[in-house]
Amino acid sequence: METFATQFARLSQAATKIAFETRFNSIQRGITNRLNKEIDAITNDGTTRRIAVLQRQRDKLADLTPKLQEYQFGLTSNANRFLEIAEAGQAAAASDADANAVLTTDEAAALNTAKEEIAENIRSLQTLYYPGIQDGNVVQLIRQDADRLDALTAVAGTVDAAGTAIPTNDNRTLIDLMTEIQERSVTFASSTSTLVESTNQMIIDIQKKVFEQEANLADLTILEITKKTEEIDNLKARYGFILKAISVSFEVSSGLSDMLAEGTQPAPKAGSILNLFT
């Protein structure tokens, strides 16, 4: 039969276990909160901001490429059109096919048709702009020639000699202007083609920088993820060990207390059948 001491010891031990569970849960919540704070400190160490800065820089560079390609396409189109204008201007400058210093009705009509087509082609040139690039305002300059063409009309009749002070008609002025347009267009086609090559190199350089930024982002992301994962795993292991140590310590202490509690019960009397089990 259990003694009062044994019952009291068992009740005290049960109360101790309940109190431990309460304290252990409180400790566990405290450690979990502390762990979460330390994890937040690891994840919010500025790496995210650095990655965001690199991403913005990369995106800004990437946005330049389509704009520069559009500008380059316009330059290429203008360079080709300049060559067309130069070819048409050269043909129109030779309108006096028989070189007799007189335009026939057909020659005058052909020259007028040519000057209208050239003026239209000039006005079809694109006005382009890209920050930091100067094209010499070639389109604006040659458009002045289109206005000059509109003011002149070829007629059947004399083609004055070059340098005539008082022209008989517009024939000489128009033919000379065709020569100027041809020469100017060849020059502008060349300078515009040079810009095409320059912008092509710019596009290559920008794309190279974008790829470099991508590589930097990838390296930073992989490195930081690996580093943070290791740090967080170490934290979890450390706090997990602390909780386990507390739990094991209590289990040992509780086991000893159980043994002590059981030890308060008196031994069976000599000759009792209970002695068979002790």
Give per-residue pLDDT as tens, 250-278: 566 666 556 555 655 555 555 555 454 45
C-alpha–C-alpha distance, residues 85 and 154, integer Å: 19
Per-residue CA distances from 214 to 47, 121, 219 (Å)? 16, 44, 9
**Residue matched to tokens 């060349």:** 190
Spatial distance between the Cα atoms of 120 and 182, rounded to a whole number of angstroms: 15
Place 3 in a pLDDT band, splitting at 50, 70 and 90. Answer: low
pLDDT of residue 180: 96
pLDDT tier at 41, thresholds 50, 70, 90:
low
Q: Would you say residue 79 has pLDDT above 80? A: yes
Classified as helix, coil or strand, 96 is: coil
Kindly report, residue by residue over 99-141, the tens digit of the pLDDT. Answer: 788 999 999 999 999 999 999 999 999 999 999 899 999 999 9
Segment of 58-67, 146-155, 208-217 carrying the highest mean pLDDT: 146-155
- DSSP, collapsed to helix, strand or coil, labels residue 158 as strand
Residue 24, H or E segment: helix 4-43
More confident residue, 209 or 33: 209
pLDDT for the residue 216:
82
157: phi then psi, degrees, rounded to nearest 5: 150, -160
Which residue do the tokens 């009792």 mark? 272
